Structure 1
């Protein structure tokens, strides 16, 4: 077992001291129990062993029910730790819903326990769905990236807040936030992962501003740069959208609305499927 076979494993050693974590130590003990062989104690070999196990669980394949259950267990652990619970939703969120109702001419509404539960379900469903998009994509054959960089990506987005369009950055995700996880932009993600992988492969680095960001190995900063610089709206798209409102009919399928917003850093909660469905149940929606 050679940790050096995957140069990007070094990122996890540098950034997280991952080789010292309980998960890596447990993976090494598990390997010894299964095979009778000890994992070499150098940091990169320990990380490689951990990632091998992580790879099996993250990429289950369609015809492996046991592996699919393992992936579901990974999701369950992340849900429990990172998805907001009903009792954690701040009262300010419900106050904001009352304010919005007044501004829309509905008067002073009372948010009774039933409505509170419904609003909480929407928040939780949108957070879960937005996190699933990242996990399912990285677990799919469409994401042929090094396991170390998949791990780095997931660990990073779990701590990223809502995109700040004015500052062009992702702030630290705050405890008690009701926002979904960041939009998945596959093109921007590919650009970031490719650049970091090339860095550890000691291939040619990009120049300019991105090169400076690359040295930080801060996923949020790199991803924000890639979204702004690599995937801007084309002139044709801007021209087509100029002054044009698109109507999404009441009670229609919410996914076209969701897909029209995701990947554009709108910051709109409507980019979550459950929230989009709730809006469309209330009436037509224009973008």
Structure 2
């Protein structure tokens, strides 16, 4: 049997203990400052309303014993009353959580770039995040982090859970959590958390946590259970991150196998999942997906055809995980060499084109969408108005759509309601074989559009304007240029005024072209630039009402709800703006 250790000895030998020891005085001082802030607030409240907070007298004062060894320091830290996770006043741990959240200035630019890529992959637009959009993302990141930590703190502090843990274990878990990042399923370990980590804290799995406590309590503290070779080094290091990762993997494996796990010497003890707690994403539906893949594999090897339900499962399911939580390769193997167009037609006949479209769009961040988006372009006439409008919006921004197919289908797309400017923006096509070159097929596309019924003066004039537009993505197939300062705006304004003014068409057509190009280019202007030049933009095509709607469309709804009325004084048409803004009202939030 292993020699028992006290909780203080165990923590002192763990990474959490190293942190407590290395920052002992700092931690106590930091905790004292938090308590001082809370008590000061309570004393102030006491003076103002005569009330009294019982917790202000419950702060345990440390004995300041002579600190002769590591265990004594850990013991004093545990007894100090400065550990937020065990303090009777919940606001203490709330302050600690607030201090742990990522700071705004620490969020890396790579995170914002990732969000832009995800937006593009989902077909939601070619966006460039401004300062306010970035702040909203930071707020979301901080809220998610706070929520993940609050779940842990609430669970550890509660006396109503099936497993109520001793204070030493709560501190051990809480201090360990502070350095834990995302769970890497492939490696079966947690990443290290840094000051720039944007991911929430690990998800709480009550069963896995109970297994960790059982292993420490029986295998180390009491020393009444032999520890096998695999578990021994983890317990010896006291590394909670490694122990929790092992428990998660063990829990997921046993759920997949759906076996009643029997406790044996040197192994985890199986606990039932605590009801109404967290549903960790480390499981795979009790192995149902795995069994279904096995059945499909057997039938295919026997020469049978996959059913439409099989195809829906394989194409549209999220990542299908196997026993080890890696992606099960059999899913892609079963689809290898298949004609996805024919498969999608079968699926659409079963569930409908709209259901298929939204399942793909809202699916796995672009894996199937990137492959199949041109499928929906071909079948745009089979979509409902809502789905068609969403696809058209994706076409306006998604520069990865197959331009050759779009160009060849110009007539078809125009008849389905796709705007002329959207189709003309897809005029750049690659000519093969290698070395290929990109050519502007705009004239041929314009001819197809005119043959389909588009106004010739408008179509040809629009093509002329967008071919040399200094911003946006009209003039050549590259990363869109932006208007970054007033000089850029002035250059753009001069180009638009001169080019549109020289078009050989009537005033109404010029107004329409100016409106459509400006509406597209607003996507590439910073909000500050739009606000600084609001009056100019509002009158740029001599139709103030039309441009008012166009400009209001360029602002996020949440922003308009708070600041929209202030735009009226900037040159917008009052009646149009008030009518537009009134539609944004709801029962809970007035303008």
TM over 0.5: yes
- TM-aligned CA distance change 1:167 to 1:46, over 3 Å: closer
Note the C-alpha offset of 1:47. Answer: 3.7
Residues 61, 81 of structure 2: 8 Å contact kept: no
What's the counterpart of residue 71 of structure 1? 90
Q: State the alpha-carbon separation in 2 of the partners of residues 36 and 128 from structure 1.
A: 29
Residues 195, 205 of structure 1: 8 Å contact kept: no
- TM-aligned CA distance change 1:240 to 1:165, over 3 Å: closer
Note the C-alpha offset of 1:182. Answer: 0.7
Note the C-alpha offset of 1:210. Answer: 1.6
What's the counterpart of residue 207 of structure 1? 228
Instruction: Indicate which of 256, 265, 278 corresponds to 1:234.
Output: 256
Note the C-alpha offset of 1:96. Answer: 1.2
Between stretches 113-122 and 235-244, larger displacement belongs to 235-244
Q: Structure 2: where are the runs of 5+ without partners?
A: 32-58, 259-285, 293-312, 319-323, 327-357, 365-591
- TM-aligned CA distance change 1:155 to 1:265, over 3 Å: farther
Note the C-alpha offset of 1:125. Answer: 0.5
**Are residues 1:218 and 2:245 paired?**
no
**Are residues 1:50 and 2:77 paired?**
yes
> What TM-score do the two structures reach when normalised by structure 1?
0.69
Q: State the alpha-carbon separation in 1 of the partners of residues 179 and 62 from structure 2.
A: 36
Note the C-alpha offset of 1:51. Answer: 2.0
**Are residues 1:97 and 2:146 paired?**
no
Q: Deviations over 1:230-252 (max 9, x none)?
A: 343334622168549789xxxxx
Residues 60, 80 of structure 2: 8 Å contact kept: no
Instruction: Indicate which of 215, 218, 233 corresponds to 1:195.
Output: 215
Q: State the alpha-carbon separation in 1 of the partners of residues 12 and 21 from structure 2.
A: 6
What's the counterpart of residue 129 of structure 1? 147
Q: State the alpha-carbon separation in 2 of the partners of residues 79 and 100 from structure 1.
A: 28
Aligned CA-pair RMSD: 3.7
Residues 24, 50 of structure 1: 8 Å contact kept: yes
> What TM-score do the two structures reach when normalised by structure 2?
0.36
Residues 160, 170 of structure 1: 8 Å contact kept: yes
Q: State the alpha-carbon separation in 1 of the partners of residues 60 and 242 from structure 2.
A: 41
- TM-aligned CA distance change 1:55 to 1:138, over 3 Å: farther
- TM-aligned CA distance change 1:57 to 1:121, over 3 Å: closer
What's the counterpart of residue 113 of structure 1? 131
**Are residues 1:178 and 2:227 paired?**
no
- TM-aligned CA distance change 1:194 to 1:235, over 3 Å: closer
Secondary structure, in 3 states, of the residue corresponding to 1:170? strand
Rg larger in 1 or in 2? Answer: 2
Q: State the alpha-carbon separation in 2 of the partners of residues 109 and 25 from structure 1.
A: 46
Q: State the alpha-carbon separation in 2 of the partners of residues 157 and 175 from structure 1.
A: 14
Residues 182, 199 of structure 2: 8 Å contact kept: yes
Note the C-alpha offset of 1:204. Answer: 1.1
Residues 24, 46 of structure 1: 8 Å contact kept: no
Higher relative contact order (CA 8 A, sep 6+): 1
Aligned length: 238
**Are residues 1:151 and 2:171 paired?**
yes
Residues 101, 109 of structure 1: 8 Å contact kept: yes
Moved >6 Å (runs of 4+)? 34-37, 244-247
Note the C-alpha offset of 1:265. Answer: 8.3
Q: State the alpha-carbon separation in 2 of the partners of residues 14 and 99 from structure 1.
A: 44
Q: Deviations over 1:156-179 (max 9, x none)?
A: 111011111111111211221110
Following superposition of structure 1 onto structure 2, how do residues 75-86 of structure 1 map, counting pairs within 5 Å? 75-80=94-99, 82-86=100-104
Note the C-alpha offset of 1:218. Answer: 0.9
Residues 188, 223 of structure 1: 8 Å contact kept: yes
Q: Deviations over 1:44-100 (max 9, x none)?
A: 45544432444996456xxxxxx3xx32222213321x2112222111111111112
Note the C-alpha offset of 1:222. Answer: 0.9
